[in-house]
């Protein structure tokens, strides 16, 4: 088995233009994703967490080449996705799929389940004719739905059942990499656990590599091997899941944990109260993007941007205070 990560992103940026009127010129740029790098090992799950609007969904779509980045590189199994022509990219898409956030919007209401699940099978030439029906039944069985579901339409299912159909459609092409974009945020709490367990079982059985996007820290802790915390388009902390939840280094990560409605055993530190709003992504603040709201900001936080630095083995954070504290802790006494 190759020893390189299945997915590697290097210095990804995505800028969206702000225009004057319908046909006017560009008057500014929204920095949706700003200099983001990460790797995902084969069979591992990277959790991506942050407030709404921080760039999580945009990053997920960049990795799948549903959006083209403004700059940076994306590699899948050692291949540069930005260098592929349309035909090569389409062939590679069989190995990369997505489960969308809204199960009510991600299914075509005019297509039966049979038609919706048959589409990727036909597109990638995985089945045809009579084989389509049997493959669809296999997919429905994988996600815990009866054979009779094949003849029904999306409006005949509950939200949890629709999300199962979304998962079945994503699995139709036997992918290696799955992006789960807030897959349970639109579901009732009573249904969320069922869908999460299904995803975990599916990953374990098929050996999938997963990018799991969520704003729910409890879900991320349950599903992820490593966690990346995003703020205003940037990753501000990156570490194994246990380290993030037991010993967060960035003040923003601690604020997210403090705001979580569920108690996480062993959560360190007092509750942090953030003031103000998330800055405008079209005009981000100088230095650390979090410093205007950070209760622990230092003078240097407003001046120069801190890059991700290793605070402990495998634990990176972009924080001047965390870097200072790590340096002091490493000094011989």
- Domain ranges within the chain, ordered by starting residue: 248-333
Cα gap 301→26, rounded to integer Å: 30
Q: If residue 119 lies in a helix (H) or strand (E), which one and from where to where? A: helix 113-123
Say how far apart CA 326 and CA 148 lie, in whole Å.
Answer: 59
Residue owning tokens 């083995």: 313
What residues have CB less than 8 Å from 125, skipping those under 6 apart? none
Which pLDDT value is given to residue 1?
45
Q: Going residue by residue through the chain, which has 333 residues, state the pLDDT in tens, using 9 for 90 and above.
A: 456 899 999 999 999 998 887 777 888 899 999 999 999 999 999 999 998 889 999 999 999 999 999 999 999 999 999 999 999 998 899 999 999 988 888 899 999 999 999 999 998 888 888 889 999 999 999 999 999 999 999 999 998 999 999 999 999 999 999 999 999 888 888 888 889 999 999 999 999 999 999 988 888 988 999 999 999 999 999 999 999 999 999 999 998 888 776 554 555 555 666 777 888 888 888 889 999 998 888 888 988 878 899 999 999 999 999 888 888 877 766
pLDDT of res. 62: 96
Contact criterion met (CB below 8 Å) for 178 and 209: yes
Sign of CA dihedral 62, 67, 71, 77: positive
Identify the pLDDT of residue 3.
Answer: 62
Site of tokens 């869908």: 195
What pLDDT sits at residue 275? Answer: 76
Q: Which among 209, 206, 237 is positioned nearest to 224, based on CA atoms?
A: 209
- What pTM value is reported for the model? 0.91
Q: Where are the alpha helices (DSSP H) in 130-250?
A: 130-142, 159-171, 189-206, 217-223, 241-246
CB 36 within 8 A of CB 11: yes
């Amino acid at each position: 088995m190759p020893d390189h990560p299945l997915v590697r992103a290097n210095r990804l940026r995505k800028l969206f233009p702000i225009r004057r009127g319908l046909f006017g010129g560009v008057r500014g740029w929204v920095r949706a994703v700003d200099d983001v790098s990460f790797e995902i090992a084969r069979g591992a799950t990277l959790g991506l967490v942050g407030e709404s609007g921080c760039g999580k969904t945009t990053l997920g779509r960049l990795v799948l080449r549903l959006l083209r980045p403004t700059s940076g590189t994306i590699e899948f199994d050692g291949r540069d996705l930005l260098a592929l022509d349309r035909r090569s990219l389409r062939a590679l898409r069989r190995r990369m799929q997505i489960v969308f956030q809204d199960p009510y919007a991600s299914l075509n209401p005019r297509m039966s389940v049979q038609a919706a699940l048959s589409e990727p099978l036909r597109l990638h030439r995985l089945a045809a004719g009579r084989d389509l029906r049997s493959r669809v039944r296999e997919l429905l069985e994988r996600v815990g739905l009866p054979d009779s579901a094949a003849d029904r339409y999306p409006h005949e299912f509950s939200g949890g059942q629709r999300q199962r159909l979304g998962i079945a459609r994503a699995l139709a092409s036997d992918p290696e990499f799955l992006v789960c974009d807030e897959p349970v945020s639109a579901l009732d709490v009573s249904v969320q656990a069922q869908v999460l367990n299904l995803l975990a079982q599916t990953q374990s059985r098929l050996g999938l590599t997963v990018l799991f996007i969520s704003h729910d820290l409890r879900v991320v802790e349950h599903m992820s091997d490593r966690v990346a915390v995003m703020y205003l388009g940037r990753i501000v902390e990156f570490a194994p899941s246990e380290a993030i939840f037991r010993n967060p280094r960035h003040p923003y990560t601690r604020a997210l944990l403090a705001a979580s409605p569920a108690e996480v055993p062993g959560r360190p530190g007092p509750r942090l109260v953030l003031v103000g709003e998330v800055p405008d992504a079209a005009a981000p603040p100088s230095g650390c993007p979090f410093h205007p709201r950070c209760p622990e900001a230092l003078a240097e936080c407003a001046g120069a941007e801190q890059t991700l630095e290793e605070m402990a083995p495998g634990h990176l954070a972009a924080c001047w205070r965390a870097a200072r504290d790590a340096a002091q802790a490493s000094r011989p006494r």
